[in-house]
């Protein structure tokens, strides 16, 4: 109908929406680029994830994924041991080889709700399988970014990522060359 260029549609989501964006982004051929923030990519592992009680991360509810998947927002009503095929199929990590869209993955390293390893494992799986993926790791940040400099950084990078894949803008240097973790703080703008 002329509202959008069908070859340049993007998908983005965070948390539960990030889980959906990751799954849809691995299965669909509709999207030219996908952004995922703090999304679960392995439902079997997340079912047992401790939400904020670990030796590395604090500040979560202390619950785990059991109630979430059985009775809460996940609304599965079954465990991964009752139907392992379902949990496996519905996990984005399962489908990385089928992925055609480039991914931008954002995750706080101190996320008490969705383990940072969900984003990191997804990134590593995409890269191992020769897919285009960028990982934005925010040290010390939780499930949502609280630091103003990090919020600004993420906003700029999201726009640059989608402008490149959806509008044909040149890829910024951080996308083509990367930013080593050790150099990240030195490159951060003040304020």
SS3 category, 168: coil
pLDDT in tens, 170-187: 999 999 988 766 666 665
| CA–CA separation, 58 and 50 (whole Å) | 10
H or E element that contains 146: none
pTM score > 0.75 for this model?
A: yes
**What's the confidence (pLDDT) of residue 70?**
77
Among all chains, which residue has been given the structure tokens 């994830």?
49
130-173 pLDDT, tens digit per residue, is 999 999 999 999 999 999 999 999 999 999 999 999 999 999 99
- HEC letters along 80-132: CCCCHHHHHHCCHHHHHHHCCCCEEEEEECCCCCCCHHHHHHHHHHHHHCCCC
* pLDDT score of 189 more than 50: yes
**For the chain, domain boundaries:** 10-42+93-187
**CATH class of segment(s) 10-42+93-187:** alpha beta
């Amino acid at each position: 109908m002329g509202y959008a260029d069908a070859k340049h549609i993007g998908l983005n989501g965070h948390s539960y929406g990030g889980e959906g964006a990751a799954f849809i982004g691995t299965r669909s051929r509709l999207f030219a680029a996908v952004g995922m923030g703090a999304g679960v990519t392995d439902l079997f592992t997340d079912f047992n994830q401790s939400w904020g009680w670990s030796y590395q991360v604090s500040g979560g509810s202390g619950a785990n994924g059991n109630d979430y998947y059985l009775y809460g927002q996940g609304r599965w009503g079954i465990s991964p041991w009752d139907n392992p095929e379902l949990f496996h199929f519905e996990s984005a990590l399962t489908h990385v080889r089928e992925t055609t869209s480039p991914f931008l993955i954002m995750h706080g390293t101190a996320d008490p709700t969705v383990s940072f390893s969900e984003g990191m494992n997804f990134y590593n799986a995409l890269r191992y399988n020769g897919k285009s993926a960028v990982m934005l790791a925010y040290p010390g940040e939780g499930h949502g970014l609280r630091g103003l400099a990090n919020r600004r950084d993420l906003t700029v990078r999201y726009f640059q990522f989608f402008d490149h894949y959806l509008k044909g803008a040149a890829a910024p240097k951080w996308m083509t060359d990367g930013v080593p973790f050790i150099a990240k703080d030195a490159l951060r703008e003040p304020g």
